[in-house]
Amino acid sequence: MNGGVGNTYMKNKAIFTIPIIIILSLYMGTSSVFAKVPYPSFSFGPEGKPFPIQTPYMPENVIGNTLYQQDQGKLVNTLGLNNPNDIFIDKNDNLFISDSFNNRVVEINGNGILLQEFGMGNNPKSRLNAPDGVYVSQNGDVYVADTGNQRIAVYQSNGQFLKEYKKPDDVSLKNIMFAPIQLSIDERGFLFVVLRGSDEGVAVLSPDGKFQGFFGRNVTQLSLIERIKRNLYTKQQLATNSNQVAASVSDVYIGNDNYVYTCTQNVSTNQIKKLNTKGEDLFDNIDFNVNNDNFSANGDLSFSSITVDKNGFIYAVDKENGLIFIYDNNGHILASFGMKLTGNNFRIGRFGMPVSIAVNSKGEIYVVDQSYNGIQVFKPTNFMKEVFTATNLYNNGEYSKSKPYWEDILKKNVFYYEAHLALGEIYYENQQWSKSLSELKLAKNQKMYSDALWQLRVVWVQKNLNKLVAALVLLFSLFFIAKKFNIKLKIKKLRIKP
């Protein structure tokens, strides 16, 4: 008897506790990964609301604060980085870093071994002064935003000085200081240059150095007081009182898709732009802000650097909040990770002053962090690789191939918004309206949910059309019979009336 009660109790306990264990395991799967890294990781759903995800990138090490070079077959210490500003990774996965306080650009491999120096020669024209941005062309030429010398310096891959771009003689640049801080080059050889303090956008130079105009200017974002002034003041009053200017672009990068990507710090909208040849922003309708509840971002996002990999995935570093954000080529956020340093508590994976970001062919992220005088290295986890694979297949129109990856992602993280949205759209394309509705409800996509619901109703009507017609005919017949019977009844009453 007691054994029966005990067995019943154990069964009831198991029924109660097993669901709890399953639910906790979903979180523990994420938390167990969190324990290995010094930061949380998130993705975001509708209205920028965050939810925790498995760690997308693992911190590996910091390189560059100490550099090494070959000396008679041995590795010896050499001058390390001092206030690095920018990083570029070439087709061989070698790193080019602008070393500002050492007035040079260094080329190193992934292990921090020095391969080449630029800007250190005896030729006065070759010497750099507080360089900032760096870019390497397909033929190996190294372009340097030589900020202190107010020019762009170009070197061959062996370190030899090749040429320079000084301020073009153009009336549009008359009152603008030509102090390049970032640059990128398109397939035609045109230079897209960010100038320090310029609110005109990105300056475009032809391969021979002629000024072609400004590109991708930010819209002036007015404060509430300034908007009131615009409505109340006369043109003369506005001319003398308004001190609002457009924010300066922080970074520029031209992807393999030939779109021009820019990012801007200290703005509340349009922090990231994807510009076509006409200067139209394909991300103009995207809200890049996130909900700060339970999330480490403090205020608006403030991107200091941007890069795009070979598959079109976008990586941006938020300097103020110490965060990395990854987006697909449509501007949908896939993941975010990171955390700011607290005091002098240096720890690999936490950011002090992240100023530049780059990605190699293996998908490894390199972040220049001036607080470390080096580059923090992060490797993608299997979870993130699966997200990339699913997203890449889906965005290339290979829906059926992407489906099992999305389903596996949801097994690992039931909250992953992009997976629900993608599966909802896949089921919609396959005319599986009920399944589409379930996924789109979880994705909270009201428009597509309404479309799927409408399609489901159409299908129901089509399947039941014969029954509906038969029912209408029956109702009409009954109505006609009842009406006829009623008329006959009235006539009969009239005949028998005395």
Q: What's the pLDDT tens digit per position in 313-346?
A: 999 999 989 999 999 999 999 999 999 988 777 8
Same domain, 135 and 257: yes
pTM above 0.85, yes or no: no
Cα–Cα distance between 295 and 300 in angstroms, integer? 12
Q: What is the pLDDT of residue 295?
A: 55
Nearest CA to 421 among 396, 447, 401, 398? Answer: 447
Given a cut of 50, whether residue 480 has pLDDT beyond it is yes
For the chain, what percent of residues have pLDDT higher than 70?
A: 79
Q: DSSP code of 248?
A: P
Q: What is the pLDDT of residue 492?
A: 61
Which of 333, 363, 391 is a domain's end point?
391
Residue 82 lies in a domain: yes
Same domain, 138 and 283: yes
| Distance in Å from the first CA to the final CA of the chain | 88
Given a cut of 80, whether residue 231 has pLDDT beyond it is no
Same domain, 120 and 26: no
For the chain, what percent of residues have pLDDT higher than 90?
A: 62
Given a cut of 70, whether residue 268 has pLDDT beyond it is yes
Q: What is the pLDDT of residues 141-163, one digit of tens each?
A: 999 999 999 999 999 999 999 99
Nearest CA to 147 among 173, 167, 168, 128? Answer: 128
Residue 396 lies in a domain: no
Residue 431 lies in a domain: no
Nearest CA to 203 among 247, 194, 249, 261? Answer: 194
Given a cut of 50, whether residue 19 has pLDDT beyond it is no
Same domain, 320 and 229: yes
Given a cut of 80, whether residue 448 has pLDDT beyond it is no
Chain-centroid distance, C-alpha 395: 15
292, with CB counted inside 10 A (0-12, 13-18, 19+), is middle
What is the rounded average pLDDT for all residues in the chain? 85
Residue 156 lies in a domain: yes
Looking at residues 34-48, what average pLDDT do you find? 82
Residue 42 lies in a domain: no
Task: Find the helix or strand (DSSP H, E) in which 240 lies.
Answer: helix 235-241
Nearest CA to 309 among 392, 235, 229, 370? Answer: 392
Which of 335, 356, 391 is a domain's end point?
391
Q: Identity (one letter) of the amino acid at 205? A: L
Same domain, 14 and 59: no
Cα–Cα distance between 179 and 150 in angstroms, integer? 5
Contacts of 336 (CB under 8 A, 6+ apart): 41, 42, 43, 44, 50, 290, 323, 324, 325, 326
Given a cut of 80, whether residue 5 has pLDDT beyond it is no
Q: What is the pLDDT of residue 491?
A: 59
Same domain, 264 and 190: yes
Q: What is the pLDDT of residues 400-431, one digit of tens each?
A: 999 999 999 999 999 999 999 999 999 888 88
Same domain, 103 and 19: no
Q: Is 455:431 a contact under the CB 8 Å cutoff?
A: yes
Residue 176 lies in a domain: yes
Tally of domains within the chain: 3
Q: What is the pLDDT of residues 170-183, one digit of tens each?
A: 999 999 999 999 99
Which of 336, 363, 391 is a domain's end point?
391
Q: How would you label 140-168 residue by residue, b for 16+ Cβ within 10 Å and e otherwise?
A: eebbbbbbebbbbbbbebebebeeebebb
Given a cut of 80, whether residue 91 has pLDDT beyond it is yes
Same domain, 14 and 98: no
Given a cut of 90, whether residue 109 has pLDDT beyond it is yes
Chain-centroid distance, C-alpha 169: 37
Helix (H, G, I), strand (E, B) or coil at 487: helix
Given a cut of 60, whether residue 26 has pLDDT beyond it is no
* Domain CATH for 289: 2.120.10.30
Given a cut of 60, whether residue 455 has pLDDT beyond it is yes
Same domain, 137 and 66: yes
Instruction: Note down the domain range covering 351.
Output: 50-391
Same domain, 13 and 106: no
Residue 106 lies in a domain: yes
Residue 45 lies in a domain: no
Edge-to-edge strand list for the sheet holding 272-275: 251-254, 260-263, 272-275
Q: Which of 38-52, 194-208, 211-225, 433-447 has the lowest mean pLDDT?
A: 211-225
Cα–Cα distance between 235 and 54 in angstroms, integer? 55
Same domain, 20 and 60: no
Same domain, 2 and 148: no
